[in-house]
């Protein structure tokens, strides 16, 4: 039993989630009564975060909102990787941020700040709530050195010219999480490798700067100057924020074989516990097919790519909810446009019901309404079945048997997870942005001029200023307008 209505107690089945480690949907059993800690692997801030990356944000946001709606006090931690993520998973090649600085001639700070802001702004535009904590790897270097020292003292490491390595032979469970065959190097994706490693699966905890070289980001350590490995960063930031063990850790399926396998090895050895994480949740990829999404290919598919085509960023949220997070989802602009149309319809119905009853939902609660409410929350409690929940919301929006008060009561309740901002959507018939004041309209016109002059830096600055004032720019076929965020 949990409080999930605004003013009512509704029975919600216990939440069940898919755990990658156990390869099964399992009940969520919090470590601390009534609380839930979530750690989500965040962006590597050397370039734009694309729409695929946004799927990882949307999935974690959905999880957090469902747990909060079910009454848990959630702490959601998403890190920023601003050092240590190498170009290759096999401990070879340069740090991605260092390589970007060498390529563009910009400073590390310029690069990491720009792309951190782009990530923050874009995840907000697709309706994600702010993480409770958003630690940066470079702010946790001392903790990372400490963890490597702990692992060293327990005999899990060895030092070679290239750095300090985790000796996977000292952790017999190493292959279990991802079901790896460690004799099959092709399968582990670690063929290209640092020559002196004892085993190809061993991974860098601390990379040493070669003699005579100065790096843009490096720190002193007991083993010499260098920088931390990507995996150790996440273990330390997660532990600093949430302690151990941890309730839920999320990330993309690409992280299972290397990054999360390594996070588990070092954390379980350092903290002497198993399992370190109760539930590991991994989302499948956004498949962009012919569309270019990769950062290495120049044209990166980002939230602005949608806006340039007149698509509301929240249409991407609706589109995300149309597929289960464990299914791959095929991206096309047409599919997101169609999701935008469905979202507009849902919003119109919701706003019409809201305004008909003046937001007053007293006297609601017909048997049919409560049945639909129960089905909606049951779908989400069943490993976050968003497509089923969204279908119920869409049924409610146009259901002739329900009165307006019931419809608004349900949709306002559902929107705590759907995240479309229905309570603040502009009134029916007044058009988007009807209450825009002159100052905002002037700023919008200035932005249009900047864009026409291809001064995208100014255009982006104005967009961010408007966002800070609570306005989101929405491009429509009649030109851009704004609406409250
Ligand atoms: P990165 O910035 O590369 O460290 O990636 C941040 C997050 O985005 C990770 O959790 C990845 O698993 C996830 N990710 C990367 N590409 C995609 C994609 N095409 N679809 C879904 N998630 C992705
Ligand atoms: Zn991570």
What digits encode the pLDDT tens for the residues 74-99?
999 999 998 878 776 666 677 888 88
Q: Does some domain include residue 412?
A: yes
Q: Does some domain include residue 297?
A: no
Residues 376-406 as b/e (b if ≥16 CB within 10 A, e otherwise) read bbbbbbebbebebbbbbbbebbebeebbbbb
Pair 242, 322 in one domain: no
Q: Does some domain include residue 166?
A: yes
Pair 212, 323 in one domain: no
What digits encode the pLDDT tens for the residues 324-337?
999 999 999 999 99
Q: Is the pLDDT of residue 317 over 70?
A: yes
Q: Give the Å distance between the CA of 259 and the centre of ligand 2.
A: 7
Locate the ligand 1 atom nearest the alpha carbon of residue 254 and give its number: 12
Locate the ligand 1 atom nearest the alpha carbon of residue 252 and give its number: 12
Helix then strand count (H, E) for the chain reads 15, 14
Task: Report which bound ligand comes closest to the CA of 77.
Answer: 2
Q: Is the pLDDT of residue 158 over 90?
A: yes
- CATH code, 369: 1.20.120
- Of 250, 283, 316, the residue that ends a domain is 283
Q: E strand or H helix at 217, and its extent?
A: none
Look at 149-153, 269-273, 291-295 and tell me which has the smallest mean pLDDT. Answer: 291-295
- CATH code, 60: 3.40.50.620
Q: Does some domain include residue 8?
A: no
Task: Report which bound ligand comes closest to the CA of 282.
Answer: 1
pLDDT computed for residue 293 by the predictor: 58
pLDDT computed for residue 202 by the predictor: 94
Look at 342-346, 363-367, 399-403 and tell me which has the smallest mean pLDDT. Answer: 363-367
Task: Report which bound ligand comes closest to the CA of 252.
Answer: 1
Pair 278, 307 in one domain: no
Q: Does some domain include residue 208?
A: yes
* 228 CB within 6 A, ligand 1: no
Q: Does some domain include residue 441?
A: yes
Q: What is the mean pLDDT of residues 288-294?
A: 65
Q: Is the pLDDT of residue 200 over 60?
A: yes
Q: Is the pLDDT of residue 118 over 80?
A: yes
DSSP 382: B
Pair 323, 465 in one domain: no
Pair 412, 437 in one domain: no
Pair 236, 358 in one domain: no
Pair 352, 279 in one domain: no
Q: What is the mean pLDDT of residues 148-174?
A: 97
Pair 328, 450 in one domain: no
Q: Give the Å distance between the CA of 50 and the centre of ligand 1.
A: 8
Q: Does some domain include residue 124?
A: yes
* 96 CB within 6 A, ligand 1: no
Other CB atoms within 10 A of residue 430 CB: 10
Locate the ligand 1 atom nearest the alpha carbon of residue 250 and give its number: 10
Its domain, for residue 95, covers: 31-283
Pair 212, 316 in one domain: no
Q: Does some domain include residue 404?
A: yes
Pair 371, 250 in one domain: no
pTM of the model: 0.85
d(CA 91, CA 236): 19
Locate the ligand 1 atom nearest the alpha carbon of residue 44 and give its number: 2
Supply φ then ψ for residue 484, to 5 degrees.
-60, 140
Q: What is the mean pLDDT of residues 342-356?
A: 95
Q: Give the Å distance between the CA of 204 and the centre of ligand 1.
A: 21
Pair 217, 112 in one domain: yes
Pair 206, 246 in one domain: yes
Q: Give the Å distance between the CA of 234 and the centre of ligand 2.
A: 5
Q: Give the Å distance between the CA of 333 and the centre of ligand 2.
A: 30
Q: E strand or H helix at 466, and its extent?
A: helix 456-468
Do residues 432 and 481 make contact, with C-beta atoms less than 8 angstroms apart? yes
d(CA 117, CA 1): 40
d(CA 310, CA 316): 12
DSSP 16: E
Q: Count up the domains in the chain and report the number.
A: 3
pLDDT computed for residue 1 by the predictor: 32
């Amino acid at each position: 039993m949990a409080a999930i209505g605004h003013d009512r107690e509704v029975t919600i089945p216990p939440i069940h989630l898919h755990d990658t480690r156990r390869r099964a949907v399992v009940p969520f059993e919090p470590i601390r009564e009534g609380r839930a800690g979530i750690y989500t692997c965040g962006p590597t801030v050397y370039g734009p975060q694309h729409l695929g990356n946004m799927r990882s944000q949307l999935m974690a946001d959905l999880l957090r909102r469902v747990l909060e709606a079910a009454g848990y006090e959630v702490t959601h931690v998403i890190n920023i990787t601003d050092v240590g993520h190498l170009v290759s998973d096999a401990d070879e090649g340069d740090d991605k941020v260092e390589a970007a600085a060498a390529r563009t001639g910009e400073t590390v700070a310029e690069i990491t700040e720009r792309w951190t802001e782009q990530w923050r702004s874009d995840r907000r535009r697709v309706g994600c709530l702010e993480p409770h904590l958003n630690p940066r790897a470079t702010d946790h270097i001392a903790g990372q050195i400490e963890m490597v020292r702990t692992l060293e003292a327990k005999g899990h490491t060895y030092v070679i010219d290239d750095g300090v390595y985790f000796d996977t032979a000292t952790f017999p469970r190493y292959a279990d999480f991802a079901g790896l065959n460690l004799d099959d190097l092709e399968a582990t994706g670690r063929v290209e490798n640092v020559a002196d490693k004892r085993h190809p699966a061993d991974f860098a905890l601390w990379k040493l700067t070669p003699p005579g070289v100065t790096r843009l980001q490096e720190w002193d350590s007991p083993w010499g100057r260098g920088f931390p490995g990507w995996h150790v960063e996440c273990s330390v930031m997660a532990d600093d924020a949430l302690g151990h063990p941890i309730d839920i850790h999320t990330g993309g399926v690409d992280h299972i074989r290397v990054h999360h396998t390594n996070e588990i090895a070092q954390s379980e050895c350092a903290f002497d516990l198993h399992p370190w994480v109760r539930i590991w949740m991994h989302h499948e990829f956004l498949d962009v097919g012919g569309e270019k999404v990769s950062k290495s290919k120049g044209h990166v598919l980002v939230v602005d790519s949608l806006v340039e085509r007149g698509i509301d960023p929240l249409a991407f949220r609706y589109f995300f909810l149309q597929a289960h997070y464990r299914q791959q989802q095929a991206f096309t602009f047409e599919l997101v446009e169609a999701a935008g149309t469905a979202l507009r319809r849902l919003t119109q119905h919701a706003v019409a019901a809201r305004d008909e009853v003046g937001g007053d939902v007293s006297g609601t609660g017909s048997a049919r309404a409560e049945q639909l409410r129960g089905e909606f929350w049951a779908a989400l409690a069943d490993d976050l079945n968003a497509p089923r929940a969204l279908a119920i919301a869409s049924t409610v929006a146009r259901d002739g048997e329900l009165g307006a008060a019931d419809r608004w009561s349900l949709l306002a309740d559902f929107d705590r997870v759907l995240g479309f901002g229905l309570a603040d959507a502009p009134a029916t018939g007044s058009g988007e942005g009807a209450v825009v004041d002159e100052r905002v309209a002037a700023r919008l016109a200035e932005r249009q001029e900047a864009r026409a002059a291809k001064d995208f830096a100014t255009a982006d600055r104005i967009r961010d200023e408007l966002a800070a004032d609570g306005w989101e720019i929405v491009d429509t076929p009649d030109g851009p307008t704004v609406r409250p965020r």
